[in-house]
Amino acid sequence: MSMESLTHLFCQGKLYLAVILLQFGYAGLSIIAKFALNQGMSHYVLVAYRMSIATAAIAPFAIVLERESRPKMTFSILVKAMLLSFFDPVLDQNLYYIGMKYTNASFTSAMCNILPAFAFTMAWLFGLEMVNIRRLHSMAKILGTTVAAGGALSMTLIKGDTLNLPWTKGRNRHDQSASAANKQDLMKGALIIIASCFCWSFFIILQAYTLKSYPAKLSLTTLICISGTVQGTIVALAFEKGNAAVWSIHLDSKLLATLYAGILSGVAYYTMGVVTEKRGPVFYSAFNPLCTVMVAILGSIILAEEMYLGRVIGAIIIVIGLYLVLWGMRKDQPMSHSIAAAPNGQQMATLTESMGTSNHVGIDITLSPA
């Protein structure tokens, strides 16, 4: 094997390792955030602190790397950045954490695999995604969206038998009485998680338009993080009025969740950009279900979460739908180069595909390579 082949193999191996490690990072965030919420941390405060840490992590890169290529800031761009931050992190992340409170980390992670299907549906409705029902690839996207929605519904309505895993025996009995007293929480949590996915999908749509007039990705991300910090703080002050204790953080799980979420957001932006540039958004998105599997395992070990057969089957159905949508998008991308509206369509395809279902970590503004 030649040196050139070894170098290529090493580079490809680094990409696989980077994506896998990032999925481990996402899984860890789900567990840590759920644990912090269980300890009484306000999700409003978590979002505000998280965005402040993300701003501190991203702003230096935006200042240094885009100091010469950054377009002129306009009032229109500023308003769009504020609107983007309202949908995410303010609405999206708060709804996500509320849904996680009503359910558990593994259920939330599995439900979020429906996100690419939602994003595709909204892009189709807004005219940013081309669909031709006579083409196999377009039919795959429609079918995948329907299958993913069916999987989410089955996860909510079908519980099934408890899966008695070796490491969970005797550890989760104390949760059964609580779950019996809150039978409606699962349905409520599922609806809130779905609402969170819709907010994130709308964020993707607006982001596609904004990047056409302001292509400085790091700078736009910094603006969104700063605006998200301000808006998130205002929301937290409004909902936690008179409860100053929620803002106090000590050397505990709350501090860990804040630092972990903020720093991971910054690392995720860079990793997403590199992987998408080298291998494309489909390659990155294909690893998202790995996070769901890891969250389910870690959740059952660390948080003593119960796993049910019906929810596992529903999660598998969602993943099948996810891959149908991503396959259809990937196959339709080459055709988009030959049509007049190719830039808009391809940008939207890339944005929807680069979002992971289990990736509610910060803000993803990765575009496809030129």
Per-residue pLDDT of the chain (370 residues; tens, 9 = 90+): 566 666 666 666 788 888 888 888 988 998 999 889 888 899 999 999 999 999 999 899 989 988 888 998 999 999 999 998 999 889 989 999 999 988 888 888 888 877 777 777 777 787 766 777 788 888 888 888 888 888 887 877 787 888 777 666 655 444 444 444 344 488 889 899 999 988 988 887 787 778 888 888 888 888 989 999 999 999 999 999 888 899 988 888 899 999 999 888 777 766 765 676 576 555 666 677 778 888 888 887 887 777 788 878 888 888 888 888 878 877 665 544 433 333 444 444 444 444 443 344 333 333 333 3
How much is the pTM?
0.76
What are the residues facing 162 on neighbouring strands? 308
**pLDDT recorded at residue 364:** 39
The CB density around residue 41, as the number of other CB atoms within 10 Å, is 22
- The helix (run of H) or strand (run of E) holding residue 203 is helix 185-213
Closest CA to 346 of 336, 331, 360, 354: 336
**pLDDT recorded at residue 351:** 42
* Residue whose tokens read 């009025």: 241
Contacts of 45 (CB under 8 A, 6+ apart): 236, 240, 246, 247
Token pair in block for residue 319: 């993943």
Q: What is the largest CA-CA distance in the chain?
A: 68
* Residue whose tokens read 């490809």: 12
CA 300 vs. chain centroid, Å, equals 21
Q: What b/e string do you get for 47-79 counting C-beta neighbours within 10 Å, with b at 16 or more? A: bbbbbbbbbebbbebbeeebeeebeeeeeebee
**pLDDT recorded at residue 197:** 87
Contacts of 76 (CB under 8 A, 6+ apart): 213
Closest CA to 265 of 58, 111, 24: 58
Distance separating alpha carbons of residues 288 and 290, to the nearest angstrom:
5
Q: What type of residue sits at position 355?
A: M
Contact of 295 with 100, CB cutoff 8 Å: no
